[in-house]
């Protein structure tokens, strides 16, 4: 079997354990609160019949573990419960909004990588030079601009003053591809700008190490062009930390999308979370927490597995 695949498989049991722990914590959210969960969920002015119905629905009379297993079973079959506020299935609500968040996240990640990789490579290649010093300073500045602040100023400049791009709202790709792209640009930039600085710094520092190695001198002694050396001999061996950090930053991107979706009024998962919290729609909140937690863990698992495919040495268990 491909060593990278078997390395991935070896890590599955741990993945499953973490997922179980996360789901259990999520489950506990509604169950450890003081007072009657049914009352907490439905709010003060619910009728007695509603509360009774919910109590039965939640099987509140069963022991907690039994309830957890039942809840997990439902979740695994795609049933995250029904919102008592909207009457909509939580799963449906999430699925309806997922494409927006997914597109936003992917576009912003892609944008920040497209900017960060060349800048990181260049600033390592010409380390200490004017461009490098400027970028290092700029990256500190960029990191100190929170997403919401950048969003605000992007709206001021590009929506309010110049009127080039919409400041709120979402157009579906299937309805109007151009409109869709226009509606995703500002939110994606606001969401990804911080990541540019993070990715650039990580890549720069790994590239600096790589560029000092004999393999680079060897590649230069072979008469290869700078472009080829940088991409094939420097970038690839230097991308391990970058991949890790991308995995880590996925969490930050999901968290950030909550704010960005709210600011730009995008109908995404993050917005759903905020709305549910505002309305104390705890069933939806619980479902979302589960989905988000699981996604982050799975994405991290995947990025960790990509390691092995990038660096054959790690794949074969050296320096792993």
Partner 1 sequence: MTSVPTDRTTAPATDDAMGVDGPLLDVTDLRTTFRTPVGDVVAVDGVSFTLRRGETLGIVGESGSGKSMLARSVLRLVEQRNATVTGRVVLDGHDLATLSNRELRRRRGRVAAMIFQDPMTALNGTMRIGQQITESLREHLPMGRGERRAAAIDLLRSVGIPDAERHLRSYPHELSGGMRQRAMIAIALACGPKLLIADEPTTALDVTMQRQVLDLLDTEQRDRSMSMMLITHDLGVVAGRADRIMVMYAGRVVEHAPADRLFAAPRHPYTDGLLRSVPRVSDEPGRELATIPGSPRVVLDGAVGCPFAPRCDRAQPDCLDANPPLTPVDGTSEPDDLHDTRSLHEHACWYPLGTERGERALQANRAAGTTAAGLRLTDMTGSADTATEPTVSDTVARSAP
Partner 2 sequence: MAEMLDVAADQPVTSATADAPAEVIARRRRRWRVTTVLSVGWLVLTVFAALAADLLPLIDPNLVDAKNALQPPSADHWLGTDGLGRDQFSRIVHGAQVSVLVSVSAVAVGMLVGGMLGLLAGYVRGRVEGAILAVSDVVLAFPGLVLLLVLLAYIGRSLFAIAVIVGILSIPLYARVARANTLSVTEREFVRAATVLGADRSRIVFREILPNIILPLTAYGFVALGKVIVLEGSLAFLGLSVQPPDPTWGQMIADSKRHLSDTIWPAIGPSVAMFLTVLSLSLVGDRMRHRIDARAEAM
Residues lying near partner 1 in the complex (CB under 8 A) are found at 127-129, 213-215, 217-225, 228, 232-233, 236-237, 310-313, 316, 318
Q: Is 226 in the site for partner 2 (CB under 8 A)?
A: no
The three-class DSSP label of residue 44 is coil
Whether the Cβ atoms of residue 267 and residue 103 lie closer than 8 Å to each other: no
If the CB atoms of residues 65 and 221 are measured against partner 1, the closer one turns out to be 221
Rounded-to-integer distance, Cα 201 and Cα 17, Å: 33
Of the two residues 142 and 181, which places its CB atom closer to partner 2 in the complex?
Answer: 142
Q: Which is nearer to partner 1, 186 or 219 (CB)?
A: 219
CB of 141 to partner 2, least distance (A): 6
Whole-Å CA distances, 257 to 148, 191, 267 = 10, 7, 11
In a 13 Å sphere around the CA of 63, the CA atoms on its Cβ side amount to 2
Q: 114 or 149, CB closer to partner 2?
A: 149
**Residues 24-83 close enough to bind partner 2 by CB under 8 A:** 25, 29, 33
In the chain the first and final C-alpha atoms are separated, in Å, by 18
Question: Residues 5, 16, 153, 232: which binds partner 2 (CB under 8 A)?
Answer: 153
Which is closer to partner 2, CB of 38 or CB of 282? 282
Q: Is the dihedral of CA 199, 204, 206, 207 positive or negative?
A: positive
For residue 41, what is the enclosing H or E element? helix 37-42
Neighbour count for residue 38 (Cβ, 10 Å): 20
Rule CB under 8 A: which of 275-294 touch partner 2? 276-278, 280, 282, 285, 288-289, 292-293
> Which option in partner 1, partner 2, none does residue 274 bind, with CB closer than 5 to 8 A by kind?
partner 2
CB of 34 to partner 2, least distance (A): 11
Classified as helix, coil or strand, 111 is helix
Q: Show the binding pattern over residues 159-198: x = contacts partner 2 (CB under 8 A), - = does not.
A: -x--------------------------------------
297 binds partner 2 (CB under 8 A): yes
- Quick count: other Cβ atoms within 10 Å of Cβ 180? 16
Minimum CB–partner distance for residue 190 and partner 2 (Å): 12
| Beta-carbon-side half-sphere exposure of residue 16 (alpha carbons within 13 Å) | 6
At residue 3, φ and ψ (nearest 5 deg) are -60, -35
Q: What is the DSSP letter of 82?
A: B
Binding site for partner 2 (CB under 8 A): 18, 21-22, 25, 29, 33, 140-141, 143-149, 152-153, 155-156, 160, 251-252, 254-256, 258-259, 262-263, 273-274, 276-278, 280, 282, 285, 288-289, 292-293, 296-297, 300
């Amino acid at each position: 079997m491909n060593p990278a695949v078997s390395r991935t498989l070896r890590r599955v049991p741990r993945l499953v354990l973490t997922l179980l722990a996360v789901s259990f914590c999520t489950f506990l959210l509604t169950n450890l609160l003081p007072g009657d969960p049914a009352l907490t969920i439905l709010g003060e002015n619910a009728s007695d019949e509603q509360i009774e119905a919910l109590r039965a629905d939640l099987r509140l009379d069963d022991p907690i573990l039994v309830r957890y297993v039942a809840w997990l079973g439902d979740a695994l079959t795609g049933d995250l419960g029904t919102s008592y506020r909207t009457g909509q299935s939580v799963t449906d609500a999430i699925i309806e909004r997922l494409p927006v968040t997914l597109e936003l996240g992917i576009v912003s990640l892609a944008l920040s990588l497209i900017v960060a990789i060349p800048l990181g490579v260049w600033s390592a290649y010409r380390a200490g030079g004017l461009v490098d010093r400027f970028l290092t300073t700029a990256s500190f500045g960029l990191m100190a601009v929170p997403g919401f602040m950048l969003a605000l100023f992007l709206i001021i400049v590009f929506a309010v003053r110049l009127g080039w791009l919409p400041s709120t709202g979402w157009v579906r790709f299937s309805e109007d591809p151009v409109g869709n792209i226009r509606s995703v640009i500002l939110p994606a930039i606001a969401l990804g700008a911080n990541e540019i600085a993070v990715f650039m710094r990580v890549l720069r520092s790994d590239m600096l190490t790589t560029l000092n190695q004999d393999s680079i001198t060897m590649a230069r002694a072979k008469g290869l062009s700078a472009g080829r050396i940088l991409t094939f001999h420097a970038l690839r061996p230097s991308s391990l930390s970058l991949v890790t950090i991308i995995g880590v930053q996925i969490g930050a991107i999901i968290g950030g999308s909550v704010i960005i979706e709210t600011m730009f009024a995008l109908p995404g998962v993050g917005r759903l979370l905020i709305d549910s919290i505002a309305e104390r729609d705890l069933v939806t909140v619980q479902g979302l927490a589960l989905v988000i937690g699981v996604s982050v863990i799975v994405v991290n698992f995947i990025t960790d597995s990509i390691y092995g495919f990038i660096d054959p040495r790690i794949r074969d268990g050296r320096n792993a």
